[in-house]
Chain A
Amino acid sequence: MAQITLKNLAHSYLAAPTGDDDYALKELNHVWKDGEAYALLGPSGCGKSTLLNIISGLLVPSQGRILFGDDDVTEKSTADRNIAQVFQFPVVYDTMTVRDNLAFPLRNRGADADYVTRRVEEIAHMIDMEAELDRKARGLTADAKQKISLGRGMVREDVNAILFDEPLTVIDPHMKWELRTQLKELHNRFGHTMIYVTHDQTEALTFADKVVVMYDGRVVQMGTPEELFETPAHTFVGYFIGSPGMNLLDAKIDGATAYVDGTEIPLGASYGQPQGRVQIGIRPEFVTLSADEGVPVKVRRIEDVGRHRIIRADFFGTQINIIAHEGVSVSPEMTRVVFEPSKVNVYADDWRVEPAALGRAA
């Protein structure tokens, strides 16, 4: 096990990349701490699988170095890196039994037969496939095959890291929960560094200690689920995480006040006078409808999604979303909204502006 360091790493699938746009992965520096569970979250095509394949050695980066501990592994083969990876679609060796499938990575590394038997039993128990151990893998369901793939990824105890590339895509929803919980448990028990690629925020937020959000070939934020929710570092994070995502409104900022179309909105802190395209962002959870306070909106429609209601409203021509929790009454007279000042974030050119002074400026 080791800490994984990425230094000035970038990758392009083109032979001679010219501009920034040619890079599937733009230059980045990043440290994956030993023994933590990370989720790599982002939309399709944002470069997360590229990053994963570079770490596992299936791809050689166009530039930059990868260190495992102090050891430079950039040029090393996948096998030498001692890494396990689970892929999006189940990869099983059809003609082998489940037992042989699980034992395969161990046997290829010349492990002792007794140890292999013991370890395979353990893993089979973990993925709940003890009954199928002596069956051929061919003809098993996609679920079962993916469980074998997961098992094969976890069978080696001495790996530097276990990488997951959207491993639960083909699994039934109820199994997803179970397997994810099991993965989490395994992480707690064995303390492997785990990197879990997904485009599903629930999956990322429930699995990981730290979530790394990627967008357009860049890491835009790394943080705990709470940080991503409360203080998204980039408008994309605000928009991508949360359901619905963060409301973003073009604004002018002067100290602790934002002006949207001339309407004053108080902020929780002073931000000076940021330049560029300035926006304020507030999560629908922190917007409340009111009859007599705040700024005017036009309510367009209300969707009841069970736990809460989502109100779609028109705020000076921009659509905003408001979440009203169960038990909060919504009536036709409520044509104003209140933004909770301390939950409003300020963005200049899509990046979050740190407040100058904490507490409300006088």
Chain B
Amino acid sequence: MEKTRNEKAWFLVLPVLVLVAFSAVIPLMTVVNYSVQDTFGNNVFFWAGLEWFKETLASERILNALGRQAFFTAVILAIEVPLGILVALSMPKRGVWASVCLVLMALPLLIPWNVVGTIWQIFGRVDIGLLGHTLAAMGIEYNYTQNALDAWVTIIVMDVWHWTSLVALLAYAGLQSIPEAYYQAAKIDQASRWKVFRYIELPKMSGVLTIAILLRFMDSFKIYTEPFVVTGGGPGNSTTLLSIDLVKMALGQFDLGPAAAFSIIYFLIILLVSWVFFTVMTNLDKKEGK
């Protein structure tokens, strides 16, 4: 068959190019531009080369924030993924209650980030918060503004509350795609509940779980608003995650060059880890197919 050639087709691609240029390429390039220059104000810039990158990589402050960030992400992944699967497994498969559950599960996802932060900020307050006050009344000392451990527990529980639904909903979708015959066959083969999970449900969920883990990794690694609203990065620097530190540097101290270098490294870390995650997980899939 003869292929139709029409050079005007390029115009159809143009809007996307313009959109991507303004939303991603130009801002990113601006950051790259800042990251290799220094300024003393008055819009006068000097070439700084890789100076800021070296400084960023050697900065104890940033490395500490990176450590906290990695810890935070690891903890919430370790909680949210198994918990999400567990929730999905215990949700009804059909009927009115399935819909009710779905709506309830989706609710936390619909709340804006800073509202989530505010909810938990008030919820945890010792003077007026339901949680903080109740704990205090029970004689448990809890104060997220002064105790680093309390602050950590608060932001982790908050994130679990906010995002476990996402994992649960994705896992639920995976479970729904399993034909009834699989469960029937498992019954006839006398498979235990654990084996049904291990050999039927988990393999069928692996695709959506890859997506879930990837999304949760990226999102939690970039998290800013909620912990910022609750703890502001404190007490001290104990909950200063990467984004919070970055904003402090860029807007608080107005160190544009170092902050730009920091952003680029931050971005590259997320990109790299996501890529590794994705490749490893899809390769595991392929290997099994052999």
Residues of A that sit less than 8 Å from B by CB: 53, 56-58, 77-79, 83-85, 87-89, 91, 93-96, 104-105, 108-109, 135-136, 138-139, 149, 152
Q: How far is the CA of A328 from the CA of B275 in the complex (A)?
A: 75
- Residue numbers in B under 8 Å from A56 (CB-CB): 184, 188
Kindly provide the distance from the CB of B189 to the nearest chain A CB, expressed in whole angstroms: 4
How many residue pairs, one in A and one in B, have C-beta atoms under 8 Å apart?
Answer: 63
Listed residue (B188, B191, B288, B289) with the most chain A CB atoms within 10 angstroms of its CB: B188
User: Which chain B residue shows the least CB distance to A139?
Assistant: B289
CB of B47 closer than 8 Å to a CB of A? no
Kindly provide the distance from the CB of A11 to the nearest chain B CB, expressed in whole angstroms: 16
Looking at the complex, which one of A77, A88, A95 makes contact with B181 (CB distance below 8 Å)? A88
- Residue numbers in B under 8 Å from A136 (CB-CB): 288-290
The answer to whether A109 and B190 touch (CB under 8 A), given A85-B184, A85-B185, A139-B289, is yes
CB of B203 closer than 8 Å to a CB of A? yes
Specify the main secondary structure of chain B where it touches its partner.
Answer: helix
Q: How far is the CA of A56 from the CA of B190 in the complex (A)?
A: 13
CB of B97 closer than 8 Å to a CB of A? no
Kindly provide the distance from the CB of A173 to the nearest chain B CB, expressed in whole angstroms: 23
Q: How far is the CA of A88 from the CA of B184 in the complex (A)?
A: 12
B179/A89 in contact, CB under 8 A: yes
Kindly provide the distance from the CB of A195 to the nearest chain B CB, expressed in whole angstroms: 14
The answer to whether A91 and B181 touch (CB under 8 A), given A79-B187, A104-B189, A109-B190, is yes
In the assembled complex, 26 residue pairs joining A and B whose CB atoms fall closer than 8 Å, in A order, are A57-B187, A58-B184, A78-B187, A78-B188, A79-B190, A84-B188, A85-B188, A87-B184, A87-B185, A89-B179, A89-B181, A91-B179, A91-B182, A91-B184, A93-B199, A93-B200, A95-B199, A96-B199, A104-B191, A108-B189, A108-B195, A135-B290, A136-B288, A138-B288, A139-B290, A149-B185
The answer to whether A108 and B188 touch (CB under 8 A), given A94-B203, A138-B288, is no
Kindly provide the distance from the CB of A192 to the nearest chain B CB, expressed in whole angstroms: 14
Looking at the complex, which one of A85, A105, A108 makes contact with B192 (CB distance below 8 Å)? A108
- Residue numbers in B under 8 Å from A108 (CB-CB): 189-192, 195
B185/A91 in contact, CB under 8 A: yes
Kindly provide the distance from the CB of B8 to the nearest chain A CB, expressed in whole angstroms: 44
Q: Which of B170-199 contact A (CB under 8 A)?
A: 179, 181-182, 184-185, 187-192, 195, 199
Beyond the given pairs A85-B184, A149-B185, 4 more chain A to chain B contacts, judged by CB atoms under 8 angstroms and listed by A's residue number, are A53-B184, A79-B190, A91-B185, A139-B289
- Residue numbers in B under 8 Å from A77 (CB-CB): 187
- Residue numbers in A under 8 Å from B185 (CB-CB): 85, 87, 91, 149, 152
Q: How far is the CA of A53 from the CA of B187 in the complex (A)?
A: 12
Mask, B257-290, CB within 8 Å of A = 1, is 0000000000000000000000000000000111
- Residue numbers in B under 8 Å from A57 (CB-CB): 187
